[in-house]
Amino acid sequence: MDERWRLSRRQILKGMAAAGALTTAELAWWDEPLIAPRRAWGAQPVRFQFSVPEPKRTALVESLAQRFNQSQKDFEVKVEFVPQAQARQKLITSIAAGTPPDVAQVWDNWVGEFDGMNAVEDLTPKVRDWSGYKDVLPLAWETVTVKKRILSFPWVVTNDGVYWRTDRAKEYGAKPPKDDWNFDDFLAYAKTMTKPDKNQYGFGMRGQGTWAVLYATEFMYANGAQVLGKDGKVAINSKEAAEALDWYLDLFRKHKVCPPSVPTDGWRGIVEGFGRGVTNSYIHNSGSSEEQKDFVKPENFATVPLPFGPAKKRSSFYFSETLTPFKAGKAREGGFKFMAWAMEPEPHFMYSKALGLLPARKTVAERPEFTRDPALAGFIKSFPFSIVSPYLAHAGWGGKLDSEGVPLFQQALVGRLTAREFLDKFAEVLSKNMS
């Protein structure tokens, strides 16, 4: 055989390594094969509950857990996937039964409830000793601080902004939304972009779920309203709030710039409406930006901050997806190690980027992948006026927003209550449940 065609063992190994590297390069981070040796036997299991809204996250989190397991030998994270709709319910029942997971991924508005159940522990001293403490945005810590105690790690954060169609705005001659736009500009855009004959509407308003009330509240804040007054009492039924809410509801009731499905449009409804081209703008956090890149294509949409109201004010509610450990967990040390590891720059970057959410760590958030992405611009520009949701003030409000606030809001939407009547009833619900 010709010697030129004979491969040495070293050449074969090099070739195999190169092929492996090429294959890996084509894969997403969470799909990459693990090359580190398996962890030693006898590691303490750490139960981690993760709620799944979409399949991409399953692979990502499974990969994260495996990487953590490879990085040390004392603990082994076992992910327990649950459907997102059942996550809160499952946690509550497991807490009541005394068998919560060691760590769970939960939204910040649940943390206060779990604190009320005496299910979470004060992490303040441990967190302050953690090396990345000062690199996490203070506002992010605020989302997980209840009664001056830090109860979780803010894994990723986000705030609300407006998604709008750049291509259609050009096509219909609409004035493109600017960073400092106001209510009038918003209405003008929505009107120009409403084409009922083409089954297109200017604005996809949310009418179902807690955030239906939160988005409306952001418009009330733009007119100078507050949920709580300076005396700590509920002040959401103010004149300013009623005026702004009337204006907001009229987008659907009077101006008809929203699709008829609004009263039952939840998160899926508004994201799909924009993705399918039925609506030409909607309010949401950065979490749907990746999805819209697939649906609408990155060049056809952008994001912009919420508009200024008549009071020359505006706000965007800021919230976090947290990693929360539970008091009754059996592997609390392992749980803390896992959370601290997940907040390390690389896993933190990968998780945030893959989901379109923003990192809680300043050094990671400053990376160009976030700052130069037009789909995220509206959210990053909203940081200066972002505030933690005022509804986090009382743990008792969490469930009531959904069970009583939303049906009342829907009554206002369909004209069974005026804005003022809704706010009076809503204020009564909030006042009764301050705890």
Partner 1 sequence: MAREATLARPLARPLLTRRAREVLTGYLYLLPVVIALGATVVVPIVRAIQMSLYRNVLIKPQEYGFIGLGNYARLLDDDVFWLSLWNSFYWVFGSVSLQFLGGFVAALLLHQSFQGRAAVRTLTLLPWIIPGVVVALIWEYLYQPNYGALNDLLARAGLMTDKVAWLSNPSLAMPAVIATNVWRGVPFFAIMLLAGLQAIADELYEAARVDGAGVLERFWHITLPMLRPIIVVATATRIIWTFNYADLIFVMTSGGPANATQITSTYTLLQAYSNLDFGYAATLSVVLLLIMLAFTLLYLRVTRGVEPVA
Q: Furthest-apart CA pair in the chain: how many Å? A: 93
Nearer to partner 1, 92 or 228 (CB): 92
Q: Report how far apart the first and last C-alpha atoms of the chain are (Å, whole number).
A: 85
Q: Measured between alpha carbons, how far is 244 from 77 in angstroms, rounded to an integer?
A: 48
List C-alpha distances in Å: 402 to 317, 388, 391, 396, 407: 17, 18, 12, 11, 8
Cβ closest to partner 1, residue 44 vs residue 118: 118
Q: Which one, 239 or 432, has the nearer CB to partner 1?
A: 432
- Count of CA atoms in the C-beta half-sphere (13 A) of 130: 23
- Count CB neighbours of 429 within 10 A: 17
Q: Identify any residues that bridge with 105 across adjacent strands, giving them in sequence order.
A: 323
CB of 91 to partner 1, least distance (A): 11
Phi/psi of residue 177, each to 5°? -60, 135
Residue ranges binding partner 1 (CB under 8 A): 88-89, 92, 95-96, 113, 116-118, 199, 207-208, 259-266, 273, 276, 278, 395-396, 398-400, 402-403, 406-408, 410-411, 413-414, 416, 435
CB of 92 to partner 1, least distance (A): 6
Q: Can you name the residues that pair with 303 across neighbouring β-strands?
A: 163
Considering beta carbons, is residue 32 or 122 the nearer one to partner 1?
Answer: 122
Q: Are strands 44-52 and 103-107 parallel, antiparallel or unpaired?
A: parallel
Angle of CA points 418, 424, 428, to nearest 5° = 145
Min dist CB 210 to partner 1, Å, is 10
Cβ(37)–Cβ(6) below 8 Å: no
Backbone φ/ψ region at 432: left (φ over 0), alpha (ψ -120 to 50), beta? alpha
- State in angstroms the smallest separation of the CB of 276 from partner 1: 6
CB-wise, 363 or 403, nearer to partner 1? 403
Q: How far apart are CA 115 and CA 75, in angstroms?
A: 26
Nearer to partner 1, 88 or 348 (CB): 88
Residue type (1 letter), 22: L
**CB of 201: closest distance to partner 1 in angstroms?**
8
Smallest distance from the beta carbon of 89 to partner 1, in angstroms?
5
CB 395 to partner 1: min, Å = 6
Going by the DSSP 8-state scheme, the letter that residue 403 receives in this structure is I
Of 401 and 427, which CB lies nearer to partner 1 in the complex structure? Answer: 401
Query: At which residue do the structure tokens 């009583």 appear?
Result: 404
State the minimum distance, in angstroms, from the CB of residue 400 to partner 1.
6
DSSP 3-state of 422: helix
Crossing angle of helices 84-96 and 108-116, rounded to 10°: 20
| 123/413 with CB nearer partner 1 | 413
Shortest distance, CB of residue 270 to partner 1, whole angstroms?
11
Give whichever of 108 and 373 is closer to partner 1, judged by the CB atom.
108
